[in-house]
Amino acid sequence: MKSLLEVKNLRIDFKTYGGEVHAVRGVNFEVKRGETIGIVGESGCGKSVTAKAIMKLLASPPAQYKEGSITYNGIDLIEASEREMERIRGNEISMIFQDPMTSLNPTSKVGMQIMESVLKHNQMTRKKAYNLALDTLKLVGIPQPEKRMEQYPHEFSGGMRQRAMIAMALVCQPKLLIADEPTTALDVTIQAQILELMKDIQKQSETAIILITHDLGVVAEICDRVVVMYAGKVVESGTVLEIFQKPKHPYTKGLLKSVPRFDMDKSVPLAPIIGSPPDLFSPPKGCSFYPRCDYAMKICMEHDPDLEDVGDGQITACWLQHPMAKAMNVKKVINAGGGRTNDNY
Amino acid sequence: MTTIEKYTDLNDELMKKNPLVQVKNLSKYFSVGKQNLKAVEGLNFDIYEGETVGLVGESGCGKSTAGRTMIRLYEPTDGAVLFQGKNIYDYSEKQMAKVRRDIQLIFQDPYASLNPRMTVEEIIGEPLTIHGVVKGKAKKKRVEELLKLVGLSPEHINRFPHEFSGGQRQRIGIARALALNPKFIVCDEPISALDVSIQAQVVNLLKKLQKELGLTYLFIAHDLSMVKYISDRILVMYLGNMMEFSDSDTLCNDPLHPYTKALLSAIPVPDPTLKRDRIVLKGEVPSPINPPSGCVFRTRCPSAMEICSSSTPKWQEQKPGHFVACHLYW
């Protein structure tokens, strides 16, 4: 299948008073039509910046596209004019933001906010746009949509606002939906509703979804493929089964082990990743995970590993995958915590 | 010993001990105009010495209000909290100040709960000054000791909060709570603002401190898998009311209340091979200003019956140590 979106070697810096922050330092991934990609990583790893870069929502300055390309359907988005971006934004690619409480305009009726993007992108009568917005509200499961169209965001609860946001994003039937932590601000029972909704929508409309999250549970639930980011770089990517069952990068392994599992013995301490992520003002010279890595070697300090294919499209950036490193791996099997990852090396 | 035997033993052991905290029919209403917002209604449970009780529920279910009322940051509308056998609401302000040494709170947001203009020494030393425990050099020594205890370097003593990461700030918050050697600590969502890999660090620290210092925790959170991991027993709340209370393994493996079942099935599990039938609750939590009649959960309950709207289910011990409030078990 041809890819819908391709991000190649993307580098983004922010100019601040304190110096240049290297927020995204070489990100590569692609999204195929109709698939769901999960981007996981801790706060500050550059996942939201990557998402906003695709939509070209980063204010420049301070943001600077240093290098790389973002190709959507053959169009280079970085080079695209603002006019072209306006056509694409909301129409072809749309975005759901994390916080439904602050992302809606409090002074405008919800129905109007949904109709706005329809009217902007299509030659359509208001009546038609109204009906389309109404249908979309029904699609996202909002009861009494006629009444809701006339209400303001403050009359909506958190879950309903997120549904309204999803309706806004879907009303023009985009080919790509970017969801930036869509359920983080919601309760688990509401999160379950929204996840079911996103699954249904994808089945019906074949929209490709980029889901940005730090919750591995959510990823396991709805993603086809996963991209793991750390300190502005992709450290591993593969299908959801590969990432959860045979993770190759120590960071992915660490992430999986640090979440408690339901069937876990309580007397076993959790296996956190020691330390904290590096400062992106001056990222380390070698592998950025090296100071926190259980398997760190001398070379990790000196040289940054490249992304290598480790079979069936699973790629990872780690010196442990180098043939010369194999001998060392066997000795250092660390199986702390109740992680159920298959350490098959 | 099988796991079940081990936990029954643990339960018996706990029962023999005296309860450190007894919550009796605790209610807290806030007045909103002419109406009352029933944040907490009729809480009844005991916390034994050295155990961790988890308090879970969705946002707005009154779990934080319950925690704050239990340490008398709010005055209750009704009911009592006995700490070491004495009702804390009977104390005068002066007496209460003394009791507060034994009861501490760890806050949710490590960014908002530390004064940005104070150094670490001032932050952690403040409770020591207020209670007049130690002064001068002895105070500094105690602060250094506390920093070491929570896994920070004593060299950090002159730094300001902004120089620390979220996980480190939460450690400072914990050190502050520990300064007066408390017996009981209410942890109000201490890890929800932290990243996954850091959450595990803080949870391990809390567990280690409990073992070393014999602390008793009330652990408030909405993340059931983390609560299950850290708690001995779990109380599930919904709209200010208690739904179910049991030891954590029974609650998670064999839940009785339909709300607990739904809550458990809503947790996303990091295992893509797992296929399960999820109970998706319809609708949203009703307003606590005007809660439903009878059982508060009935508007979203998949097994609601006629009786649920007319009478409030009784809080009863369904199995030994396993309490539930539901008409299904009458």
Q: Which amino acid is at A225?
A: R
Task: Tell me whether residue B109 is in a domain.
Answer: no
Is the domain of A193 the same as that of A50?
yes
Task: Tell me whether residue A240 is in a domain.
Answer: no
Give the residue among B156, B38, B55, B169 at the shortest CA–CA distance from B115.
B169
Is the domain of A197 the same as that of A255?
no
Q: Count of domains in chain B? A: 1
Who among B228, B262, B280 is closest to A262 (CB)?
B228
Task: Tell me whether residue A100 is in a domain.
Answer: yes
Using CA coordinates, name the residue in chain A closest to B168: A276
Query: Would you call A89 helix, strand, or coil by DSSP?
Result: strand
How many CB atoms within 10 Å of residue B289? 13
Q: How far apart are CA A213 and CA A235, in angstroms?
A: 16
Kindly give, in sequence order, each residue whose CB lies less than 8 Å from that of residue B80, ignoring residues fewer than 6 positions away: B23, B24, B25, B26, B87, B89
Last residue of a domain, one of A223, A238, A263: A223
Do the Cβ atoms of A189 and B269 come within 8 Å?
A: no
Q: State the residue range of the domain holding A49.
A: 3-223
**pLDDT tens digits for A135-188?**
888 888 888 888 999 999 988 887 888 889 888 888 888 899 999 988 877 788
Task: Tell me whether residue A262 is in a domain.
Answer: yes
Q: For position B6, what pLDDT does the model report?
A: 52
Is the domain of A37 the same as that of A88?
yes
Is the domain of A183 the same as that of A317?
no
Q: How far apart are CA B189 and CA B211, in angstroms?
A: 20
Q: How far apart are CA B25 and CA A204, in angstroms?
A: 50
Q: Confidence class of residue A341 from pLDDT cuts 50, 70 and 90?
A: very low
Q: State the residue range of the domain holding B294.
A: 3-102+182-329
Quick one: tokens of B82? 């006995």
Task: Tell me whether residue A235 is in a domain.
Answer: no
Q: What are the phi and psi torsion angles at B221 (to 5°)? A: -160, 165
Q: For position B8, what pLDDT does the model report?
A: 53
Assess contact for B285 and B239: CB atoms under 8 A: yes
Q: Confidence class of residue A326 from pLDDT cuts 50, 70 and 90?
A: low
Reduced 3-state DSSP string for chain B: CCHHHHHHHHHHHHHHCCEEEEEEEEEEEEEECCEEEEEEEEEEEEEECCCEEEEECCCCCCHHHHHHHHCCCCCCCEEEEEECCEEHHHCCHHHHHHHCCCEEEECCCCCCCCCCCCCHHHHHHHHHHHCCCCCHHHHHHHHHHHHHHCCCCHHHHHCCHHHCCHHHHHHHHHHHHHCCCCCEEEEECCCCCCCHHHHHHHHHHHHHHHHHHCCEEEEEECCHHHHHHHCCEEEEEECCEEEEEEEHHHHHHCCCCHHHHHHHHHCCCCCCCCCCCCCCCCCCCCCCCCCCCCCCCCCCCCCCCHHHHHCCCCCEEEECCEEECCHHHC
Whether omega before A61 lies within 30 degrees of 0, making that bond cis, reads yes
B-chain residues within 8 Å CB-CB of A36?
none
Task: Tell me whether residue B313 is in a domain.
Answer: yes
**pLDDT tens digits for A10-69?**
999 998 888 888 889 989 999 998 899 999 988 888 888 999 999 888 887 888 888 889
Mean pLDDT, contiguous 10-residue spans, chain B (330 residues)? 52 66 93 89 92 90 91 93 92 91 90 92 93 90 93 90 88 94 93 84 92 93 87 94 93 92 86 78 83 91 90 91 90
Give the residue among B118, B113, B111, B205 at the shortest CA–CA distance from B164.
B111
Kindly give, in sequence order, each residue whose CB lies less than 8 Å from that of residue B3, ignoring residues fewer than 6 positions away: B249
Task: Tell me whether residue B148 is in a domain.
Answer: no
Q: For position B205, what pLDDT does the model report?
A: 92
Quick one: tokens of B30? 């806030």
Task: Tell me whether residue A117 is in a domain.
Answer: yes
Give the residue among A167, A163, A157, A150 at the shortest CA–CA distance from A110.
A150
Is the domain of A14 the same as that of A123?
yes
The distance of Cα B127 from the centroid of its chain, to the nearest Å, equals 22
Task: Tell me whether residue B252 is in a domain.
Answer: yes
Give the residue among B274, B219, B224 at the shortest CA–CA distance from A340.
B274
Task: Return the H-helix or E-strand segment holding A218.
Answer: helix A216-222
Is the domain of A117 the same as that of A199?
yes
Is the domain of A276 the same as that of A322?
yes
Task: Tell me whether residue B107 is in a domain.
Answer: no
Q: Nearest 5 degrees, angle CA A56-CA A60-CA A66?
A: 80
Q: For position B242, what pLDDT does the model report?
A: 94
Query: Would you call A105 helix, strand, or coil by DSSP?
Result: coil
Is the domain of A26 the same as that of A155?
yes
With an 8 Å Cβ cutoff, the interface of chain B facing chain A consists of 58-59, 165, 167-168, 195-201, 203-204, 207, 222, 224-226, 228-230, 248, 252, 262-263, 265-274, 278, 280-281, 284-285
The distance of Cα A182 from the centroid of its chain, to the nearest Å, equals 10
Give the residue among A200, A247, A177, A215 at the shortest CA–CA distance from B223.
A215
Q: For position B14, what pLDDT does the model report?
A: 54
Q: For position A123, what pLDDT does the model report?
A: 83
What is the CATH classification number for the domain harbouring B236? 3.40.50.300
Task: Tell me whether residue B158 is in a domain.
Answer: no
Who among B165, B197, B270 is closest to A254 (CB)?
B197
With an 8 Å Cβ cutoff, the interface of chain A facing chain B consists of 42-43, 157, 159-160, 187-193, 195-196, 214-221, 240-241, 244-245, 254-256, 258-262, 264, 266, 269-274, 276, 337, 340
Q: For position A334, what pLDDT does the model report?
A: 43
Angstroms from B99 CA to nearest CA on chain A? 31
Is the domain of A31 the same as that of A86?
yes
Task: Tell me whether residue B168 is in a domain.
Answer: no
Q: How far apart are CA A256 and CA A264, in angstroms?
A: 13
Quick one: tokens of B185? 């600590």
Is the domain of A16 the same as that of A164?
yes
Q: For position A333, what pLDDT does the model report?
A: 42
Kindly give, in sequence order, each residue whose CB lies less than 8 Å from that of residue A74, ignoring residues fewer than 6 positions away: none
Is the domain of A207 the same as that of A145?
yes
Is the domain of A142 the same as that of A46?
yes
Task: Tell me whether residue A121 is in a domain.
Answer: yes
User: pTM, whole model, 2 decimals?
Assistant: 0.83
What is the CATH classification number for the domain harbouring A80? 3.40.50.300
**pLDDT tens digits for A218-232?**
899 889 999 999 988
Task: Tell me whether residue B126 is in a domain.
Answer: no
Q: Count of domains in chain A? A: 2
